[in-house]
Amino acid sequence: MADLSTQYMGLPLKNPLVASSSPLTESVDNIRRLEDMGIAAVVLPSLFEEQLTLESAVLDEDLWRGAEEFAEATTYLPDLSTYNTGPDGYLELIRRAKHSVAIPVIASLNGVTPSGWVRYAKHIEQAGADALELNIYTIATDPLRSGADLEEDCCELVHQVKTSVRIPVAVKLSPYYSSLTHMAKRLDHAGADALVLFNRFYQPDFDIEGLEVVPRLHLSHPEELLPRLHWVAIIFGHIKGNLAVTGGVHSALDVVKCVMAGASVAMMASAPLENGVRFIHRVHQDLEHWLEEHEYESMRQMLGSMSHRAVPDPAAFQRGNYMKVLSSYALRLR
Ligand SMILES: Cc1cc2nc3c(=O)[nH]c(=O)nc-3n(C[C@H](O)[C@H](O)[C@H](O)COP(=O)(O)O)c2cc1C
């Protein structure tokens, strides 16, 4: 039987299948079922700093963007008091999950202010999480702040969190950077133990009768995997930390592609949400079969085998691929 084990941020995992942050990991029962089906680690739903602020009703003095702006922003928020069971419930979820399963439990935090990120990172560590994923989901709406400013803030934040906790810290990133490889290197220097590619953006739709924006969340499609695969293949070998794919992983073959690109783990949310938790068992079995059929002895053997590490001129390689894709289209006019 092939050895499926992998290492993620220093955590030994029995295979590369990780349940990413979603309502599936919101209950201990589901986390237990995911473990039974073969999941090797879980990422809990994100705790949002606004939940903490609403609960305490006291803003830190060192708020990043000023208390008034932040207070006004909270009026746009949905009722977050019960989302992900609220802040106290969240820490309790970590404790109970750790008590109930043997697989690593990774908490997820989405902050606003540096002090908020750091404070709750410490609470999360104390509650017993094995690692922390920083869910950096911000939309750059301020025309006075440059990309360089935002990148600097992000790296500074990672540095602050890393120097405040001892558990490994992953950063879940968006694909929207002018130079993603440069940003990946900077985050690596700031101390990130892993980069998770990529956050999905959930643009709300317009209700043109009610003149409102309405939330609309669609589960992912397998095609969403492609940009992740390519960026992981490009970044692999350039950073010390690990890489993880989230977005569009819907089968064992997708998991194989992620690992060949250079990801230590492949995360899934939409596939088990759509097909049920048992689907993980099937992916696990298919993965074992695939490795055996293709005479791989271990998952490690294929790590990064399709990455750009071995390509002497990656820019020319990408340009060649671009031309190949365009020319591969066969015109079929009726
Ligand atoms: C209903 C739902 C809730 C989610 N909640 C979170 C969250 O709280 N924090 C987070 O970082 N990602 C969250 N995600 C994003 C997933 O973790 C994942 O990155 C994304 O869905 C892409 O993976 P997939 O193609 O396997 O679904 C959520 C996704 C779904 C579908």
- Do residues 254 and 225 make contact, with C-beta atoms less than 8 angstroms apart? yes
Q: Is 108 in the pocket of ligand 1 (CB under 6 A)?
A: yes
* Domain assignment of residue 274, yes or no: yes
Residue range 110-125, pLDDT digits in tens: 977 778 889 999 999 9
**Mutate which of 93, 169, 200 for ligand 1 pocket (most atoms within 8 A of beta carbon):** 200
Task: Say if residue 185's pLDDT is above 90.
Answer: yes
Q: Is 135 in the pocket of ligand 1 (CB under 6 A)?
A: yes
The per-residue pLDDT of the chain, averaged, comes to 88
Residue range 63-103, pLDDT digits in tens: 344 444 445 555 555 555 555 556 789 999 999 999 999 99
109: nearest Cα among 154, 64, 59, 169: 169
Task: Say if residue 319's pLDDT is above 90.
Answer: no
Q: Is 51 in the pocket of ligand 1 (CB under 6 A)?
A: no
- Give the pLDDT band of residue 155 (cuts 50, 70, 90): very high
The pLDDT assigned to 66 comes to 42
- Give the pLDDT band of residue 320 (cuts 50, 70, 90): confident
Outline where the chain has alpha helix (H).
28-37, 49-56, 67-74, 86-100, 114-127, 147-164, 180-190, 225-235, 252-261, 270-275, 279-293, 314-327
Least confident interval from 55-69, 93-107, 202-216, 287-301: 55-69
Beta bridge partners of 298: 3
Task: Say if residue 254's pLDDT is above 80.
Answer: yes
Å from CA of 265 to ligand 1 middle: 16
Q: Is 251 in the pocket of ligand 1 (CB under 6 A)?
A: no
The pLDDT assigned to 189 comes to 97
Mean pLDDT value across residues 260-274: 98
Mean pLDDT value across residues 119-138: 93
Å from CA of 163 to ligand 1 middle: 27
* Domain assignment of residue 123, yes or no: yes
* Domain assignment of residue 333, yes or no: no
Mean pLDDT value across residues 173-199: 96
- Do residues 186 and 156 make contact, with C-beta atoms less than 8 angstroms apart? no
Residues 6+ apart with CB under 8 A from 20: 43, 196, 246, 267, 268, 269
HSE on the CB side for 288, CA within 13 Å?
10
* Domain assignment of residue 60, yes or no: yes
The pLDDT assigned to 79 comes to 54
Q: Is 25 in the pocket of ligand 1 (CB under 6 A)?
A: no
* Residue numbers of the domain that contains 298: 6-327
Output the CA torsion 171→108→307→291 (10° steps): 160
* Domain assignment of residue 1, yes or no: no
* Domain assignment of residue 332, yes or no: no
Residue 175's CATH number: 3.20.20.70
Exposure of 175 by Cβ count < 10 A (0-12 exposed, 13-18 middle, 19+ buried)? Answer: middle
Residue range 13-53, pLDDT digits in tens: 999 999 999 999 999 999 999 999 999 999 999 998 776 66
* Domain assignment of residue 334, yes or no: no
- Per the model's pLDDT, the better-predicted residue between 174 and 140 turns out to be 174
The pLDDT assigned to 81 comes to 54
The pLDDT assigned to 78 comes to 55
The pLDDT assigned to 258 comes to 98
Of all protein residues, whose CA lies closest to atom 9 belonging to ligand 1?
A: 46
Residue range 207-234, pLDDT digits in tens: 999 999 888 888 999 999 999 999 999 9
Least confident interval from 3-17, 59-73, 132-146, 171-185: 59-73
The pLDDT assigned to 215 comes to 81
* Domain assignment of residue 137, yes or no: yes
Q: Is 275 in the pocket of ligand 1 (CB under 6 A)?
A: no
The pLDDT assigned to 70 comes to 45
Q: Is 170 in the pocket of ligand 1 (CB under 6 A)?
A: no
Q: How many domains does one find in the chain?
A: 1
- Give the pLDDT band of residue 54 (cuts 50, 70, 90): low
